[in-house]
Amino acid sequence: MLLRSLLGVLPFAGVALSQAAMQYTDPDNGITFWGITDSAHSVTYGYVFPPLATSGANPTEYIGEIVAPLASQWVGFSLSGSMIKSLLIAAWPNNGKIVFTTRYATTNVLPDVYNGPIITTLPSSMVNSTHWKWVFRCQNCTSWEGGSMDPGAAAATPAWCQSTIAVDNPADPATSMVQHTDFGFYFFAFASAHVSASVYNNWAAGGTGGGSTTTTTTTTTTTTSTAPTATASPYDYIVVGSGPGGIITADRLSQAGKSVLLLERGGPSTGETGGTYQPNWAKGTNLTKFDVPGLFESMFTDANDFWWCKDITVFAGCLVGGGTSVNGALYWLPSDSDFSTSNGWPQAWTNHAQYTAALKARLPSTDHPSTDGKRYLEETSVVVSKLLNNQGYRNITINDTPDSKDHVYGYSAYDFIAGKRGGPVATYLQTAKARKNFKLQIYTNVLNVVRNGSQITGVKTNDTTVVGGFYPLNPNGRVILSAGSYGSARILFRSGIGPTDMINLVKSDPVAGPNLPPSSQWINLPVGYNVSDNPSINLVFTHPSINSYDNWANVFTNPPAADAAQYLASQSGIMAQASPRLNFWRAYGGSDGVTRWLQGTARPGAASVTTSYPYNATQMFTITAYLSTGIKSRGRLGINAGLNAVPLVNPWLVDPVDKSTLITGLQDIVSGMSAVPGMVMITPDNTTNIVDYVNNYDPSTMNSNHWVGSNIIGTAGKAVVDVNTKVFGTNNLFVVDASIIPALPYGNPHGMLMSVAEQAAAKILALSGGP
């Protein structure tokens, strides 16, 4: 069971939280709870506390309830909003009874059984032919090893999770279980959810009926939860996903005077978005983990990794900024070739220059991000440049000549700004938020678009504060999916758009299935096909001059004191840059007549080492070699029975010439080592040649996480979206994210993607029939 961590107290300026706890009365027992009903799954979560202490410690218990349809095989929650180092409670029905478990985890693994809470199931619990209800008293439940929750908090954000997949052994509270199939957060003012001692004690003893509460509100006695009565306001445009595609598109649409709702399923990231997750050494500042470039490597080692989408089996960022808030921020301005017809783009997209220029004006790149203008930890650049100079490479400022990508190298370029993470969050989002016609709403998971045949009327979400979780469009309004290659594809599947095998998986799901349109309205498109990602291989070396920076092991918890102090003082020094230090490119003519490009990225440290050599870990550095433009290998992504997004067919080195080209590129890299005295390759070492190394390389570790093509742009019958990014077979549904890119660009695609968003927004605004 994986519950996601809270980043900060909400709401904050320009952002709304989609769900808020409300008071209701359970008619079966008369208990007044405060809670929500998750509209996506019709699960109610409710809690009530004894009175707050007038002095001394606050109460350590509460009464809770879960009411769920039988389709919810198990349900769980964390009142602290976190999985890591938090008390986790889950329950499920079994043979007419409720089985429950208390769990605790220090990392994102199956939580261990946790002893300490005393839980008593109360008499109004039941299981019938359609639902199950668990009413319980939870004592010693407000604190636990390493943490606690505050029953007097005026602003808290608990988490819930739900699964349509049963636990392994329903009779055993210690059973194993697979990861939840959905999750969410909501706003809860715990301070309001208290009743008098006499009322609470009556309920805690199994009694029923009402009584005087410590707050005066109107309650209902006709349903088990307060149904949302608000109808969401309509918008001209609903944009789904606040990654680079969504933010830039939403900004340009709102700039044009359109009313725009940007929905993000995760929470804040950088300090200016309301994020608060920061290292202890940055306490007292507005700098979060996502602001500090030097913390990039810790994104993959932090046990509290709430920023990754837990229902996508590859790395995908679920937070404001999407991947641009958690990646290494390598930023390559696109070349003409990247948008060429030979690279799969329609002719109308080849004139990208004006859109790339607009991007560059808003977001310039830098290859010296430290605010003092100096470069730090550059030993790796020096060593690798010597290796490449001996092979005919030339040194350039890469973004000064984006079309030069053969036998060139240069300092790594980023979209950092003033020594901090920049990207669309620091630029386009800020101008959008300043407009009254724009709204960003976080923790709002879009489940599917709602459509009547080809016409989209709005989106269905997990928001329990509006009727049906439904957000409508204005007349002639439009929905734009920007949820990423996996996220947008899954929303299409859940909306009856895509291959029949994927839609049938949705149809079989007891919760998502009823939201599908009739099968006569399904639209068969190649959603999930044509997927490409850079196959990448790591080579690990040592050299006496290298400083591996302790392999970035303690940058979040305990970096060198002088480096942390320098960064806090002026956003300068080592911590002002992510780990890459140098990049290079080379073109290779394949035996099939197709030219493929190899990109190299050099950085201090190493992710893993396999060697028979003794070596000095303080001298390690890595060259990662990627194949990019020209590769032929393609894969497929989709969903599984739990509706998690997964790769179905891996896209790496499927084509034999792709593989032989990468091998040749790796052999070329190491061929000049003799010209760099002291340089030793330790992975692979002299016991393994390059061919065997590639043949035995774990395919799952070839993932560069540069997924493109799952909603490919092109012509009817071959593609998912047309030249204006509109989904074929629909009137007003669009996709603007990496999934429409038909083939990999020369380098890391996020710079190209932002240019794509600039051009897509212009095309959508120019398209007739819109709001």
Q: What is the pLDDT of residue 177?
A: 85
Are residues 426 and 471 both part of a single domain? yes
Tell me the C-alpha distance between 751 and 606, whole Å.
Answer: 25
Least confident of 41-50, 249-258, 423-432: 41-50
373 by Cβ neighbours in 10 Å (0-12 / 13-18 / 19+) ranks as exposed
- pLDDT at position 183 over 90: no
Catalytic annotation, pick one of 131, 180, 543, 706: 706
Q: Which of 565, 563, 539, 568 is nearest to 552 (CA)?
A: 563
The DSSP H or E segment spanning 150 is none
Non-local CB neighbours of 630 within 8 Å, separated by 6+ positions:
590, 594, 595, 596, 597
Whether 210 is in a domain gets the answer no
Least confident of 83-87, 497-501, 513-517, 618-622: 83-87
- pLDDT at position 742 over 90: yes
Are residues 328 and 249 both part of a single domain? yes
**pLDDT tens, 702-720?**
999 999 999 999 999 999 9
Q: What share of the chain is helix, strand, coil (3-state, %, to 5)?
A: 25, 25, 50
Strands (E), 401-547: 408-411, 438-442, 446-452, 455-461, 470-481, 536-542
Q: What is the pLDDT of residue 354?
A: 98
Which residue bears the tokens 């940058």?
A: 555
* Residue 5 binned pLDDT confidence (cut-offs 50, 70, 90): very low
- pLDDT at position 734 over 80: yes
Q: What is the pLDDT of residue 210?
A: 59
Whether 217 is in a domain gets the answer no
* Residue 760 binned pLDDT confidence (cut-offs 50, 70, 90): very high
Q: What is the DSSP string of 465-500?
A: TBGGGEEEEEEEEEEEE-SHHHHHHHHHHHTTBS-H
Are residues 352 and 400 both part of a single domain? no
Q: What is the pLDDT of residue 220?
A: 26
Q: What is the pLDDT of residue 229?
A: 54
Which residue bears the tokens 């509290």?
A: 304
Least confident of 167-176, 209-218, 326-335: 209-218
Are residues 395 and 448 both part of a single domain? no
Whether 391 is in a domain gets the answer yes
* Residue 145 binned pLDDT confidence (cut-offs 50, 70, 90): confident
Tell me the C-alpha distance between 149 and 7, whole Å.
Answer: 15
Whether 498 is in a domain gets the answer yes
SS3 697: coil
Least confident of 199-208, 526-535, 595-604: 199-208
**pLDDT tens, 434-446?**
999 999 999 899 9
CA angle 103, 107, 110 (to 5 degrees): 45
SS3 10: coil
Are residues 314 and 401 both part of a single domain? no
Tell me the C-alpha distance between 386 and 379, whole Å.
Answer: 11
407 part of the active site = no
Q: What is the CATH number of the domain that holds 676?
A: 3.30.410.10
The DSSP H or E segment spanning 674 is none
Q: First and final CA of the chain: distance in angstroms? A: 43
Q: Provide the residue type at 693 as one letter.
A: Y
- pLDDT at position 269 over 70: yes
* Residue 213 binned pLDDT confidence (cut-offs 50, 70, 90): very low
9-18, 165-174, 186-195, 349-358: range with highest mean pLDDT: 349-358
Q: What is the tally of structural domains in the chain?
A: 3
SS3 551: helix
407 by Cβ neighbours in 10 Å (0-12 / 13-18 / 19+) ranks as middle
Average confidence score pLDDT of the chain: 91
**Which domain, by its residues, includes 592?**
374-412+535-627+653-702
Strands (E), 590-717: 595-604, 620-627, 636-639, 645-649, 680-683
Q: What is the pLDDT of residue 667?
A: 97
Tell me the C-alpha distance between 398 and 581, whole Å.
Answer: 13
- pLDDT at position 218 over 60: no
**pLDDT tens, 271-305?**
999 998 899 999 999 999 999 999 999 999 887 78
Q: What is the CATH number of the domain that holds 119?
A: 2.60.40.1210
**pLDDT tens, 444-489?**
999 999 999 999 999 999 887 788 889 999 999 999 999 999 999 9
Q: What is the pLDDT of residue 459?
A: 98
**pLDDT tens, 623-654?**
999 999 999 999 999 999 989 999 999 999 99
Which residue bears the tokens 């020094």?
A: 573
Non-local CB neighbours of 689 within 8 Å, separated by 6+ positions:
none
SS3 124: coil
Are residues 640 and 658 both part of a single domain? no
Whether 672 is in a domain gets the answer yes
